[in-house]
Amino acid sequence: MSEDFLKDVKKLLVSGKGDAKRLREILEMIKQNEPVYMSDYKYIQNLISEEAEKDKTETKDATSTVKLEDPMALLRMRLAEGKITIDEFRELKKTISEF
């Protein structure tokens, strides 16, 4: 499976687009070098193209400030990559939301 496809799946997980459970299952299949179903491949491609279309239609203010990285996005990425457990994710999420 291509690295770009893997990056697309991770990007979707971080952005909160699509079905998180399905995306995690696809990610796990890729990690285990199992073939990805054509329906899953098309699902990812559709989500990516929808996101690209949305980005095209949104105008960005040239004077806007630079956004800091979203801590929740970073947590979702770490969870998707298996670097933290779901319990650690929930605890960190709770801590972040307190601020």
What is the predicted pLDDT for the residue at 42?
A: 94
Q: What pTM, to 2 d.p., does this model score?
A: 0.55
pLDDT of 51-90, one tens digit each? 777 766 654 543 343 344 678 888 888 888 888 999 989 9
Contact 51, 15 (CB under 8 A): yes
Per-residue DSSP letters for 29-62? HHHTTPPPPHHHHHHHHHHHHHHHHHHHHS---T
Structural domain span for residue 35: 3-97
In the predicted model, is pLDDT for residue 14 greater than 90? no
Which residues are CB-neighbours of 86 under 8 A, at least 6 positions away? 79
pLDDT of 45-58, one tens digit each? 999 998 777 766 65
What total number of domains does the chain contain?
A: 1
